[in-house]
A = this chain, B = another copy of it.
Amino acid sequence: MINSDFKKKMTDSWFSYLQAQICKEFESFEKKKKFIRRDWSKKNKDEGGGTSFILSGGNLFEKVGVNKSTVSGKFAKEYKNKILGAGKNGKYWASGVSVVAHMKNPKIPAIHFNTRFIVTKKEWFGGGMDVTPSHKDTKEKKLVHNMLRKVCVQNKKNYKKYKKWCDTYFYLPHRKEVRGIGGIFFDYETDNWIKNFKFVRELGLTFINISREIIRRKKKLKWKKKDKEKQLIKRGRYVEFNLLYDRGTKFGLNSGGNIDSILMSLPPEAKWK
């Protein structure tokens, strides 16, 4: 049996590698702008920290954040019962990558991706990706879902279940609206670590492929002011979701995370009517 320390080392390394790959890919779309790196650590440095890469004001990316963090510690009383296996002593270890890209061109959707490995009394993988357009594009939706289905099927994962989970999770009950066109979402993958880790790695690479496809198809599309307005209103919904419901935001705030990294998911600009 593989021990926990080995799993931690492996996942931590993978997430660092994936972060670098994503940044490299995304930077290749930009002419002048580069990612800016920022390292942070928790107050108690023994409890880890992270590295965030942010690129703002690009010709493609209005703002994109690619975060990786590896943290540990003890959750506060009020929060620990909400985390699988942390209810008893509140202790946790977590490592993951998360990406949110807000595009300048409103015809290109916002893209979100995250994978993580969490260890409490239990240990499991979780993650997902979803796509938030402000303009309808049936072909794009098909493209995204086909690629996600493929990586799930190849890894014997239940695509339908993950798709539904995504639709249920990225939903704004107060507006009775879905966030976007969905994607996949999964959590508590506690069984076969080796197979799950393989799936998580392949999903990370699939995310890069999907992003490339989405961007390639649309980066030259013209847009008007009213398209941008529509995007800014849609981004308002994105803000609402991330601050009212997102579990990642809550996890970050409850694990002593770096505030700029946690809130890097917020768009550079948003509007409300």
**Cβ of A97 to closest chain B Cβ, rounded Å:** 21
**Cβ of A222 to closest chain B Cβ, rounded Å:** 24
Q: B232–A243 contact, CB under 8 A?
A: no
Tell me which residues across on chain B come within 8 A of A232, comparing CB atoms. Answer: 269
A99 to B234, CA, bound (A): 24
A232 to B236, CA, bound (A): 14
Listed A/B pairs (17) with beta-carbon separation below 8 Å:
A63-B272, A174-B262, A174-B263, A232-B269, A239-B239, A239-B270, A240-B243, A240-B263, A243-B243, A263-B272, A267-B272, A268-B271, A268-B272, A268-B273, A269-B269, A269-B270, A270-B270
Q: B259–A266 contact, CB under 8 A?
A: no
Chain A count of residues within 8 A CB distance of the other chain:
22
Residue A153 CB within 8 A of the other chain:
no
A259 to B273, CA, bound (A): 12
A236 to B270, CA, bound (A): 9
Tell me which residues across on chain B come within 8 A of A244, comparing CB atoms. Answer: 243-244
Tell me which residues across on chain B come within 8 A of A174, comparing CB atoms. Answer: 253, 259, 262-263
Docked complex: A188-244 residues within 8 A CB-CB of B: 232, 236, 239-240, 243-244
Docked complex: A166-201 residues within 8 A CB-CB of B: 174-175
Tell me which residues across on chain B come within 8 A of A262, comparing CB atoms. Answer: 174
Tell me which residues across on chain B come within 8 A of A253, comparing CB atoms. Answer: 174
Tell me which residues across on chain B come within 8 A of A270, comparing CB atoms. Answer: 239, 269-271
Tell me which residues across on chain B come within 8 A of A239, comparing CB atoms. Answer: 239, 243, 270
Docked complex: A246-273 residues within 8 A CB-CB of B: 253, 259, 262-263, 266-273
A56 to B272, CA, bound (A): 11
Tell me which residues across on chain B come within 8 A of A271, comparing CB atoms. Answer: 268-270
A175 to B270, CA, bound (A): 20
A129 to B41, CA, bound (A): 37
Partner of A175, one of B63, B259, B267: B259
- Smallest Cβ-Cβ distance to A267: which chain B residue: B272
